[in-house]
Amino acid sequence: DVQLQASGGGLVQAGGSLRLSCAASGFTFDDYAIGWFRQAPGKEREGVSCISSSDGSTYYADSVKGRFTISSDNAKNTVYLQMNSLKPEDTAVYYCAAVGHPCGIATMSTVLEYDYWGQGTLVTVSS
């Protein structure tokens, strides 16, 4: 069975850091890109970042560029999202998802392109 297990969310003060993890299983990790999305209450799900497992290429939303870093450990089939300088507006449920082709700037933000989704992990940033 395909599984994407997101973890690492929590409560943090503004300016703090968190690292999210997305552990994948049940598919050929190297053939997929992994994206991180987030959804705040009352808002649409938005793309945050993605990484292609094949070549390590990365993309970021403008709102997180310079603060978030996505990385991949292909040996562990795990993608990480290091989030620094967190702001209250980063508060959301964060989801990881897998798509069966390299990601690009469009793929990063297109929910319907993704084949598999994890369950989400809540990040709350207090002011």
Q: pLDDT per residue over 75-88, tens digit each?
A: 999 999 999 999 99
C-alpha angle with apex 118: 85 to 38, nearest 5 degrees? 35
Cα 105 to chain center, whole Å? 14
Of all residues in the chain, what percent carry a pLDDT higher than 70? 100
**Percent of the chain with pLDDT strictly greater than 90:** 93
Structure letter (DSSP) for residue 51: E
Query: Where are the alpha helices (H) located in the chain, listed in sequence order?
Result: 105-108
With 0-12 / 13-18 / 19 or more C-beta atoms within 10 angstroms meaning exposed / middle / buried, residue 41 is: exposed
Q: Which pLDDT band holds residue 53 (cuts at 50, 70, 90)?
A: confident
The Cα–Cα gap between 29 and 35 comes to 13
